[in-house]
Amino acid sequence: MSSQARKEKRRKKIIFHKRFRVFLIIISLIIIIVALVCAAKSGAFKPTAKVTFSNNNITIYQNDTQKLKMKYDPKDGKIPSLKYSTSNKKIVTIDKNANIKGINAGTTKVKCSTSKGTTSTCTVTVKKRVQSKTIFLTYDDGPSGNVTPKLLDVLKKYHVRATFFLVGYEAKTYPNIVKREAKEGHTIGIHTYSHNYKRVYASKKAFFRDFTKTEKLIIKLTGKKPRFCRMPGDSNNSFVTRRFARSLIREMNRRGYMCTDWNAATYDAMGKTYSVSYMTKCAIRDIKRNKTSIVLSHDSETKKTTPATTEKIIKYFKKRGYSFEGLDEYQGKAILFI
């Protein structure tokens, strides 16, 4: 190869390398630009928001649950991952979603830590529950596929526990609803299996055959033996004499059950269709008359107003310092009509 040819080859090689380097630079710039655009869209360049508790002093009652609210500055800043802790788990516990639960009366600190190492604290005071300011919502004749899930949503929204007196054949039809009731902390009780009054009250043997069938089903679905029961039609109905009713109750007590009626109601089983407003007023009137109220309502498939009525009752009494519990927390004597 001549000297001139070698020079030409070297020149072309240099040009190729220069062009290749330019190409690599352009590609790199494109990749960087795309990455920056994606990062900007994802908020990577937003300033990290400073996190503080919306309320630095919180009061709840024993066994109540409340979600702590946080505020961010700036509001449109990048929200860091948060970790919560409490200085005394015997007074209050807190989960990863900032839900606190009052355990025992007292005061403690709850801390929020960010991934950037900054912290914020608030003071939580747990007060002892006063039984006279506790309402026990109870629901008969469920579960139903159209009413009970909506009712459970309302109870969950307000962190309220209630009691469900189940009809066995409905529980067998909707086992997952029963499991949800138990999982969300509600008290499960026995109402009847067949809800056929003539069959249930035919004899003491017939009553407890129906009763035991429901008991076994509840244990199978929840893993827990129930402690409460409610007689179909209450303890003073036209299908039983007082003597027979008392003998049934004595046997239920012997088996470890509390049989209970009620002292307040929404009057949703009076054979008439009342408005949500009217039933709420009736329940409020009854509850105000009592030191402690066990409230009767129903969650069978025809009781479509039960969730809305329940929500109004909860909102009214929550504002006035009342709490709501399942009958597992009940400390009084059984309320009976006989």
pLDDT digits (tens, 9 = 90+) for 145-166: 999 999 999 999 999 999 999 9
Rounded Cα–Cα distance for residues 136 and 3 (Å): 104
Helix axes 242-254, 204-222, angle to 10 degrees: 40
Q: Say what the pLDDT of residue 43 is.
A: 56
Rounded to 5 degrees, what are φ and ψ at 92?
-150, 145
Q: What is the pLDDT of residues 164-189, one digit of tens each?
A: 999 999 999 999 999 999 999 999 99
Is the Cα dihedral 183, 137, 171, 201 positive or negative?
positive
Q: Say what the pLDDT of residue 139 is.
A: 98
199 in Cβ contact with 206 (< 8 Å) = yes
Q: Say what the pLDDT of residue 46 is.
A: 64
Rounded Cα–Cα distance for residues 250 and 233 (Å): 18
Q: What is the pLDDT of residues 190-234, one digit of tens each?
A: 999 999 999 999 999 999 999 999 999 999 999 999 999 999 999
Amino acid at the residue 4: Q
Q: Say what the pLDDT of residue 44 is.
A: 58
Q: What is the mean pLDDT of residues 273-287?
A: 96
Q: Say what the pLDDT of residue 40 is.
A: 61
267 torsion bin: left (phi>0), alpha (psi -120 to 50), beta (else): left
Q: Say what the pLDDT of residue 45 is.
A: 59
What does the CA dihedral 319, 321, 324, 328 come to, rounded to 10 degrees? Answer: 180
